[in-house]
Amino acid sequence: MSIQLPDSSVTSVKSSGSLLPAGPKRAFILVTALFFLWGMSNNLTDILVQQFRKSFELSAMQAQFVQTAVFFGYFCMAIPAALLMERKGYRGGILTGLILFGTGTLCFWPAAITGHYGPFLFALFLVGCGSAVLETASNPFIAQSGTPATAQRRLNFSQAFNPPGTITGVLLGTYFIFSGVELLPAQVMEMKARGTYAAYLHSEIMRVVPVYVGLGALVFLWAFLIWRTPFHADRAVAESSPEGARFSDVLHSKYLWLAVMAQFFYVGAQISTWSALIPYLKQYTPLPERSAAQFLTACLVMFAIGRIASTLFMRWVRPMTLVQIYALVNCGLLAFAVTHPGMSGAIALLTSSFFMAPMFPTIFAAGVEGLGRATKLGGSMIVMSVVGGAIIPPALGYLAREHASYALGYVVTGACYVVVAAYALVAVRRTNVVVSIN
C-alpha cells in the first residue's frame, strides 16, 4: 500500500484550521512580541558599528567585530538551547534566553564605564547567545501552537512583528545614540591640544548606555510576564513525544538539512543586500550618507510590508510555492542591480526586500515539519545557519574590492537566491511524494 507524507502543505491551498492557537492565547501573544524585541536589537548593532568605529577610533574591520560577536553567540548557543528545552520546555528556554539577552544589554553600562572595546564585545556575545536561545525556542513554539495545516502561515504572522522592531532599532540608534557631531581633522587636533578629545570620545561611548539599559529593563519585564504565564504547548508536546530527542532523530532528516542549507544562503542574501546598500549608493549615486541611510530604512519598511502581504497571500498560494516565486523574482532584481548600477539598480535592491520577507519563517517551518520530538533540536540546527550572515557579506565585499564594483559584488547575493529557489522547488515537489510500503 502507499501513504502520503505528513506534510501540512499537502492540504488545500486554503489551509483548513485557525491561524491562531485554540484556547488561551497569552503565551502566543507574549512570544510573538519577542520577534519585535530581538528585531530591535539586531538592527541596533548596525548603529553600533559606526558608533564604536568613531568612539574607539577603530578600523572598518575592527568595527565589524560587533557583528562577529553577535553571530558567534548564535552559533555557540543554538544546540545547547535545544538541549535545554528538552529538559525545561519552551518556557524554560525562553526565560533563559531573556535572562542572557537582558544581562548582555545591562553589561553595556559597566563596559561604557571602563571605556574599552572588549567588554562591549563580550556584552554583545551575551546578547547573541540570548537571541539564539529565543529564536531556537520561539520559532518552533509558534509553529506548534496550533494546527499543523496553518503552521507556516502562523510563523509568518509572528515573524511579521520582527521588521517593525528592526525599524524601531534603527530609529532609536539614529536619534539617541548618534550625537550628530562629526568632527573635522582640524577640530580633532584642536581638541587633542586642549586635552578635551578623550572626554569627547568617552561621552560618545556613554551614549549607548540609556538605550541598552532601557532595553534590558524591558527584557526583564517580559521575562517576568513569561514566568507568570502557563505554556500549554509544552504539555501538548510532552504528551505526544514523551521520550527525549536524540541527534539520530535529525541526522538522517534530508529535508531538515536542505532547510539548513537554504537558510544559510537566505540569511547571507538578506544581510549582504542591506550591508552593501549604502556603499552601492555612494559609488553610483550622488546621495549623501544620511540619505543613503534613509534608503536602508525604506528597505526595512518594504520588508515589513512583505511579511504582512505574504501572510495574506498564503491563504491562496502554498507557502513554499510563494517562496519559490519570490526567490526567482529576486534573482531577476539582483541581475538588474548588477547590470544597471545607479538609482534604478538601488530601487531594484529596495524592491527585493519585499520579496525576501517570507523566506526565513517558511523555510524554518518546512525544515522542522514532521520532526515530532526532535522539533526543538532541528530548529536549533536551522538557527545555527544564520552564520551565513557572517560569511556571505565578506564574499560580496571581496568581489567588490577585486573588481572595484559593488554592483558586481551583488552577483554573490543573486547566487544565494538561486540556491533558495532550488530548495523551494524540492520542497514543493515533496508535497507530491508517495512513500511505498511493501
Grid coordinates representing 191 are: 581638541
Residue range 129-156, pLDDT digits in tens: 999 899 888 888 887 787 777 777 788 7
Sign of the four-CA dihedral 330, 332, 335, 341 = negative
Can you list the residues of the chain whose pLDDT is less than 50? 1-16, 242, 432, 434-438
Q: Which element (helix H / strand E) includes 275?
A: helix 254-275
Q: In the prediction, which pLDDT does 404 show?
A: 85
Amino acid letter for position 280: Y
Please tell me whether the overall predicted TM-score, pTM, comes out greater than 0.85 for this model.
Answer: no
Q: In the prediction, which pLDDT does 233 show?
A: 60
Task: Let me know if domain 2-9+22-436 sits in CATH 1.20.1250.20.
Answer: yes
CA distance 280 to 101: 33
Q: How far apart, in Å, are the Cα atoms of 41 and each of 54, 97, 206, 237?
A: 20, 14, 18, 30
Contact (Cβ atoms closer than 8 angstroms) between residue 362 and residue 266 = no
Q: In the prediction, which pLDDT does 386 show?
A: 85
Strand pairing of 2-4 and 434-436? antiparallel
Q: In the prediction, which pLDDT does 75 show?
A: 82
